[in-house]
Structure 1
Amino acid sequence: MIPYALECMAFQLVFLAIYDFWLKRETFFQWNRVYLIGSYLLSLILPWVKIEAFRTEVPTAFQGYPEFLWNLDNAALTVTGDKGSTFGIPWELVLLFGGMILTTAFFVYKLFQIHKLKRLGEVHYFNEFTRVILPNSRAAFSFFKSIFLGDKVVEREHETIIKHELVHIRQRHSYDLVFFELMRILGWFNPLVYVYQNKVSELHEFIADAQVAKMNKNEQYKLLLSQVFQTQSFSFINQFFKESLIKKRIVMLQKSKSKQIWKLKYLLIAPIILGMLFYTSCENERKDGIQETIAVADIQNLTETEEKKVFSRLVDLAEGFRDWELHVEDGTSTIHFSRPENGESYISDPEGNPIKAKMRIETELADMDFDFFGDTSTTTSEYDLDGVFRFREVDQVPIFSGCESEPDKRACFNSKLQRHISKHFNYPKEAVEKGIEGRVNAMFTIDEDGKVVHIKTKGPDKLLENEVERIIGRIPDMVPGRHDGNDVNVMYSIPITFKLQ
């Protein structure tokens, strides 16, 4: 969301710069009106547009890497427990929606003020508009089809003012201003929305002045504008008398009409838009295809500095980029992190906090010896490898109950195991009371009879280890795995993260 908002604001800044330095001095007021509204809408759409011809292809890498033994569907499984009735909302959402609520309330208040003025005024209905005479006022403005005039405005000036306001009504200028008012609600944090609204409001007055000046004597109209009148502080009404605009309007009335050839200036927009499309379409190379490598001395025994560097970079990439790859290598092993395709896979940091990423591993070590960022006291000597095959090595993996008719037995095994853990999970009460969290690595074998045996666990506390052992022990018997035509023992491992909420 933040990258999108920043891109929109960057595009708006470019469009406004073009307007200020290249277009606003011309008398093509209607063209400028279309430019401002159109460029604002384009700034909202362009970040989403990708033109294939502009895309820079990033080669698909790392396909066909072996699945790491304890990595379930490229993601650790996180199980959660409730540590109380606390309810937390990210502060970013609180700030965003808080601002939207306040700006909405202010908008409603301004609408109420206009309604109040109409209710207190003397209303006269005509074919094209409704005239509202305001008591004890020298105001003059319009809102949609209503023209508000103070009773202290000289009556001979009414006709000229009404002609001016009718231009606003006929050209539906109020719709422009209300549109930007709504954009101010959705993007209250964006100062450029206010700039756009002010510039469009200014153009409305130039358009109406140009129309009325054709029918009235130019000098008489300038004299009328030069008078000081009361104004209303509403950002979405078309005000006849607005002191900050009077001088600009008089200057614009004195300005000679721009030559038609200068409309060619608007062609400048085309290469600018193409450049923006090139920018957004090539993001695949700049943002979506970012690849980084971090070299470490020993992946199994990261130093505190290395661990902090790896995980802080992982968090930055997972939160700030649409697609990315991070490689951590030490000469014998390489861990490949990347964005999960479904956006729902997670790994965990050493404290058990989830990071939206998937992980693939290349290693010359035995899978069971590879304990990523954890305690490596478990070695091959503690686990009999004789006659035991790794899950990814066998011709046919063990068949979980319910997976008999599934074409992809491996994917079904992973899915069923995840459901089993979620179904039978029960966060130990004592662990909840003590606030114990963290990752438990579980390793077990499905023997030649399809039974789960040799369950081993390693985690931050015995309470969590026992719970994982209990859950794994309840896995129903399976059809055993097969290799070279024989039933074999198959080793499997999975990390389970306990997280209190």
Structure 2
Amino acid sequence: MISYLFQSILFQLLFLIVYDLFLKRDTFFSHNRLYLLITSLLSLVIPFIKIDSFNTLLDSNSIIVLPEIVLGSLNNQSNTNYSYDTVVSLMTVANGYVLITLIIFSVFVIKLIKILKLIHQNPKTIQDNLTIVHLKDTNTAFSFFNYIFLGDTLTTTQRQSVFEHEKIHAKQKHTFDLLWFEVLKIVLWFNPLVYLYQIRISNIHEFLADQNAVKFNKSEYYQQLLQQVFNVKTYAFINPFFNQSLIKKRIIMLQKSKTKQTHLVKYLLLIPMVLGMLVYSSCSNESEATKDPIVNIQTETLDINNSKQIGVDLPFSAIDQSPLFEACKTLVDKDHQKKCFSDQVSNHVLNNFNTKLADNLDLKKGITKVFVSFKISKTGEIIDVMSRAEHPDLEAEANRVINNLPILTPGMHEGKAVDVVYGLPIAFKIK
């Protein structure tokens, strides 16, 4: 879930950056509206899409992650405590999320009820297949679906200009756009980019309505914008006629020359962006282990660093034979060979890693981890051993143990030896 949220937020950020840098100053308001709606949806969908063929785009240093090795005894009690603490922590976060979501949803419902009350309690007339709700003793003006709300203190000229503007909101179904982002705000209230999306779509709605309504009476329309700012309650999912923060932008856009049609080519930026996101999403596989903190990391997408003789990088599952220990040579099935290899590496580390070394390193009590990467070359030798740990002495010990692995039968493909890069997580408890 964390991986999904990270990817979706990252994609939204990239989409918004492109919009702000290349698109928002153009007068292609309808195209920009579609861009914001489509990209807000794509950012949520793309992280779910996994295209296996994109994994071949990974570089030749991709690592085969072996199952985690646990050194020493992590007794049942400590595991139980870890599980309990983890569950309690996750429940606390989940309960907090649900509580805030319910509060925001409740506020949305209250605002919606207020709108419905205005419709029910005030006189209405029909014009151009739209329902005009006449609000008493106010000069507010806004739209909601096919309802246009007009204050009865508006002058006849004002009512005419406002109606033409709000009619565009109603005809083009702008309320659906705003409600879509309201839903996103309810579910993803912690994501600030959703609010930025909603601000931009609201601006586009006003530009679209102005662009069409100004044809009715241009000079009068400008006067209406400049004359005053009406007091409109902010419901987020309505389209108010006058919004003080938008007046200047709307006037600028009304005076702006139409953008040349050749600038439409900028929307083609979506193609490489979406393709890149699909590659990133497909190659960022989230293992089941990351969803459950009690489960160890298991083997993920497997790739090899192929020899120059082969000429291309191949998935590990595609090679004819994995590297073999002496004890694994009698096995034929590739899955059995991989399991045998993993078991032999685990036994070697379990029997040779000096866990007492950590007792004198002044490390925090609890579980610590060392991650080791190494390569089995075309000659079966262990090379390029590197480690990452909380202390250099642990890294040195991990390097020593892995370097002491015996020479193996190298991985083979089409009768030729290939290089294979491995990663190995090692965990043990410091008392």
TM-score of the aligned structures, taking structure 2 as reference length: 0.64
Q: Aligned pair in 2 of structure 1 residues 92, 374: CA closer, same or farther (>3 Å)?
A: closer
Q: Aligned pair in 2 of structure 1 residues 269, 333: CA closer, same or farther (>3 Å)?
A: closer
Distance 2:430 2:235 in 1: 62
Alignment match, 2:221: 221
Alignment match, 1:248: 249
Q: Aligned pair in 2 of structure 1 residues 77, 374: CA closer, same or farther (>3 Å)?
A: closer
Shift of 1:90: 2.4
When the two structures are aligned, how many residues end up with a matched partner?
A: 322
Corresponding residue to 1:299 among 355, 360, 368 = 355
| 8 Å Cα contact 1:300/1:373 also seen in 2 | no
Distance 2:224 2:266 in 1: 34
Shift of 1:223: 1.1
Q: Aligned pair in 2 of structure 1 residues 374, 330: CA closer, same or farther (>3 Å)?
A: farther
Letter in 2 for 1:98: L
Deviation readout 1:223-254 (Å, 9 max, x if unpaired): 12212122221111011111111111111111
Letter in 2 for 1:245: L
Q: What SS is found at the alignment partner of 1:258?
A: coil
| 8 Å Cα contact 1:180/1:197 also seen in 2 | yes
Distance 1:178 1:104 in 2: 12
Between structure 1 and structure 2, the one with the greater Rg is 1
Q: What SS is found at the alignment partner of 1:131?
A: strand
Q: Aligned pair in 2 of structure 1 residues 265, 133: CA closer, same or farther (>3 Å)?
A: same
Alignment match, 1:383: none
Q: Aligned pair in 2 of structure 1 residues 201, 298: CA closer, same or farther (>3 Å)?
A: same
Letter in 2 for 1:232: K
Alignment match, 1:119: 120
Letter in 2 for 1:180: F
Deviation readout 1:150-203 (Å, 9 max, x if unpaired): 011112332232222121111110000001001000000111111111110110
Q: Aligned pair in 2 of structure 1 residues 290, 308: CA closer, same or farther (>3 Å)?
A: farther
Q: What SS is found at the alignment partner of 2:214?
A: helix
Distance 1:173 1:314 in 2: 54
Distance 1:156 1:62 in 2: 75
Q: Aligned pair in 2 of structure 1 residues 314, 106: CA closer, same or farther (>3 Å)?
A: farther
Distance 1:285 1:90 in 2: 21
Q: Aligned pair in 2 of structure 1 residues 285, 139: CA closer, same or farther (>3 Å)?
A: closer
Shift of 1:300: 6.4
Q: Which has the higher contact order (CA 8 A, sep 6+)?
A: 2
Letter in 2 for 1:19: Y
| 8 Å Cα contact 1:225/1:246 also seen in 2 | yes
Distance 1:103 1:96 in 2: 11
Q: Aligned pair in 2 of structure 1 residues 103, 217: CA closer, same or farther (>3 Å)?
A: same
| 8 Å Cα contact 2:130/2:147 also seen in 1 | yes
Letter in 1 for 2:261: Q
Q: What SS is found at the alignment partner of 2:134?
A: strand
Task: Point out where structure 1 has 5 or more consecutive residues left out of the alignment.
Answer: 316-324, 335-358, 362-371, 376-501
| 8 Å Cα contact 2:368/2:430 also seen in 1 | no
Deviation readout 1:94-127 (Å, 9 max, x if unpaired): 2211210111111011112212322332222446
Alignment match, 1:27: 27
Shift of 1:148: 0.4
Q: Does 1:92 align with 2:148?
A: no
Alignment match, 1:263: 264
Q: Aligned pair in 2 of structure 1 residues 137, 290: CA closer, same or farther (>3 Å)?
A: farther
Q: What SS is found at the alignment partner of 1:311?
A: strand
| 8 Å Cα contact 1:140/1:239 also seen in 2 | yes
Task: Point out where structure 2 has 5 or more consecutive residues left out of the alignment.
Answer: 291-299, 304-345, 372-387, 390-394, 404-423
Alignment match, 1:352: none
Distance 1:152 1:285 in 2: 59
| RMSD after superposition | 4.3
| 8 Å Cα contact 1:129/1:145 also seen in 2 | yes
Identical aligned residues as a percent: 37
Distance 1:119 1:159 in 2: 23
Shift of 1:289: 6.2
Alignment match, 1:235: 236
Alignment match, 2:191: 190
Task: Summarize the alignment of residues 55-134 of structure 1 with structure 2, pairs less than 5 Å apart.
Answer: 55-56=55-56, 58=62, 60=64, 90-126=91-127, 128-134=129-135
Task: Summarize the alignment of residues 150-169 of structure 1 with structure 2, pairs less than 5 Å apart.
Answer: 150-169=151-170
Letter in 2 for 1:167: I
Shift of 1:78: 7.2
Shift of 1:8: 1.4
Alignment match, 2:5: 5
Shift of 1:314: 8.2
Q: Aligned pair in 2 of structure 1 residues 312, 3: CA closer, same or farther (>3 Å)?
A: farther
Q: What SS is found at the alignment partner of 1:55?
A: helix
Q: What SS is found at the alignment partner of 2:124?
A: strand
Alignment match, 1:386: none
Letter in 2 for 1:201: S
Q: What SS is found at the alignment partner of 1:153?
A: coil
| 8 Å Cα contact 1:131/1:146 also seen in 2 | yes
Q: What SS is found at the alignment partner of 1:133?
A: strand
Shift of 1:76: 11
Q: What SS is found at the alignment partner of 1:147?
A: strand
Letter in 1 for 2:280: Y
Q: Aligned pair in 2 of structure 1 residues 300, 165: CA closer, same or farther (>3 Å)?
A: same
Task: Summarize the alignment of residues 310-349 of structure 1 with structure 2, pairs less than 5 Å apart.
Answer: 311-313=367-369, 329=398
Q: Does 1:276 align with 2:277?
A: yes
| 8 Å Cα contact 1:131/1:149 also seen in 2 | yes
TM-score of the aligned structures, taking structure 1 as reference length: 0.55
Shift of 1:52: 2.6
Counting helix residues as a fraction of each chain, which structure ranks higher?
2
| 8 Å Cα contact 1:299/1:330 also seen in 2 | no
Distance 1:247 1:258 in 2: 19
| 8 Å Cα contact 2:365/2:429 also seen in 1 | no
Distance 1:230 1:166 in 2: 20
Shift of 1:277: 2.1
Deviation readout 1:308-363 (Å, 9 max, x if unpaired): 58824489xxxxxxxxx9999586699xxxxxxxxxxxxxxxxxxxxxxxx999xx
Distance 2:270 2:89 in 1: 46
Q: What SS is found at the alignment partner of 1:219?
A: helix
Letter in 2 for 1:51: I
Distance 1:104 1:117 in 2: 20
Q: What SS is found at the alignment partner of 1:148?
A: strand
Q: Does 1:171 align with 2:172?
A: yes
Q: Aligned pair in 2 of structure 1 residues 305, 175: CA closer, same or farther (>3 Å)?
A: farther
Q: Aligned pair in 2 of structure 1 residues 50, 306: CA closer, same or farther (>3 Å)?
A: farther
Distance 1:10 1:374 in 2: 37
Distance 1:60 1:76 in 2: 32
Q: Aligned pair in 2 of structure 1 residues 314, 111: CA closer, same or farther (>3 Å)?
A: farther
